[in-house]
Amino acid sequence: MAVRVVTDSASDLTDELAAELGVEVVPLSIRFGDEEYVDRRDLSPAAFYDKLASSSVLPETAAPSPGAFQAAFGKAFDEGADAVVCINISSGVSATMQSAKTAASDLERASDIRIVDSRSVTWGLGSQVVAAARAAAGGATADEVVALVEDMIPRTRVFGALDTLENLKKGGRVGGAQALLGTLLSIKPVIDISSGVVEEAGKPRTRSKALKFLADKVAQHGGVENLAVMHGSAPDVEQFLDLLAPLYPREQIHVGEIGATIGVHGGPRVMGVTFQAKG
């Protein structure tokens, strides 16, 4: 491919899909106290949630170093790429994109690297990466790939139903959802990350009402594209898919696990829905 796509592990691409699409994934790091792990390399999603359940400390994330991005960019050029499009987790919640920018600016081929802020997380970002990689495989130029992603960004929606606020609070990513922290514990809050920062979307009092809230968000947008259900070892994924079935062909819904990068903040049993509103 003349254009290669790079992203980070907040995209929640599986290793298999990344390999199929030729996407290079630069991982963030996860820290449990003094122990540090490389997302998806040292810590699979399942292993992360197991450790989260048994750990006495809440984990934290660390953005990749510029050197990690330089290695990914260099690999792409060494393998014959003419240009690289790097699509990253929202700059509103992570320093990852700044690391990618620093990496690109220090390389001789900086002009051949485009850094794009997805303003999104998990499969909101992942869907943009997949579309970009498929366009690149089809012969799209770097400008065309960037234009495709930039069309998707303002239409990308991400909503998440949290089972606990502890992780979001400890991670300092509360943003516009600050008011949730002062509410009673007997809620299952829904957050909106569609703008690239965390904002309050609703305060349902039960899990079932929170999942219904998510389904209603999909319904309110009418026709949507690239609908996905992403979760953090949630036991009720099938029940949520049943809620979405009348709105979207079930066999076309992407279902995936939220990895450690986003799971650190979403917490156990987080349930997310992502999609692009039709323009």
Query: What are 80-117's pLDDT values in tens digits?
Result: 999 999 999 999 999 999 999 999 999 999 999 999 99
Residues of the chain with CATH 3.40.50.10170: 3-154
Q: In the structure encoding, which two tokens stand for residue 240, read together?
A: 């949520």
- The pair of structure tokens assigned to 204 is 């349902």
Architecture of domain 155-277: 2-Layer Sandwich (3.30)
Q: For 3-154, which CATH class?
A: alpha beta
pLDDT of 208 reads 96
Which pLDDT score is estimated for 191? 93
User: In the prediction, which pLDDT does 170 show?
Assistant: 53
The tokens describing 67, both together, are 């050197």
Q: Which residues in the chain show pLDDT less than 50?
A: 171, 176, 182, 184
- Rounded to whole angstroms, the Cα distance separating 65 from 47 reads 24
d(CA 88, CA 198): 16
**Residue 196 near residue 87, CB atoms below 8 Å:** no
H helices of 96-206, in order, are 96-105, 122-137, 142-152, 166-171
Residue span(s) of the chain under CATH 3.30.1180.10 come to 155-277
DSSP labels, 26-85 = EPPEEEETTEEEEBTTTB-HHHHHHHHHH-SS--EEEPPPHHHHHHHHHHHHHTT-SEEE
Amino acid at 226: N
